[in-house]
Amino acid sequence: MSRRRSHAGRPVEPAPGGTSSPAAQGDLGIGGYDEVPEDQEAQGSDRDRAEEPEVMEEGSGEGSPPAAPVAKDPLAEARALEAADPDRAMELYRAALLERPDTDARLALARLYTERGDHTAALEQLEAAREENPEYVPVQLAYAAALAALNRFELAERELRRLTRVHPELAEAWSTLGSVSFRRGLYAQAEHELKRAIELDPEGAVAYHYRGECLNQLGRVDEALQMLERAAVLQPDHARTYYVMGILLDRKHRPQEAAAMYRKAREVAPA
CATH of the domain at 146: 1.25.40.10
**Under DSSP, is residue 95 helix (H, G, I), strand (E, B) or coil?**
helix
Q: How many CB atoms lie within 10 A of CB 106?
A: 25
Contact present, 180 and 194 (Cβ < 8 Å): no
pTM above 0.75, yes or no: no
Co-location of 138 and 216 in the same domain: no
- What is the distance between the alpha carbons of residues 73 and 108, in angstroms, rounded to a whole number? 16
Question: 198 in a domain, yes or no?
Answer: yes
The HSE-up count of residue 182 (CA atoms within 13 Å, CB side) is: 25
- Binned average pLDDT, 10 residues per bin, the chain of 271 residues: 42 39 35 38 47 48 55 86 95 94 96 96 97 95 97 97 97 98 97 98 97 97 98 97 97 96 95 75
Instruction: Write down the pLDDT at residue 2.
Output: 43
Instruction: Write down the pLDDT at residue 118.
Output: 97
Which of the listed residues 150, 172, 195 is the one where a domain comes to its end? 150
- Total structural domains within the chain: 2
Instruction: Write down the pLDDT at residue 9.
Output: 40
- The whole domain housing 132 covers 86-150
**What's the Rg (C-alpha) of the chain?**
31
- What is the distance between the alpha carbons of residues 248 and 230, in angstroms, rounded to a whole number? 14
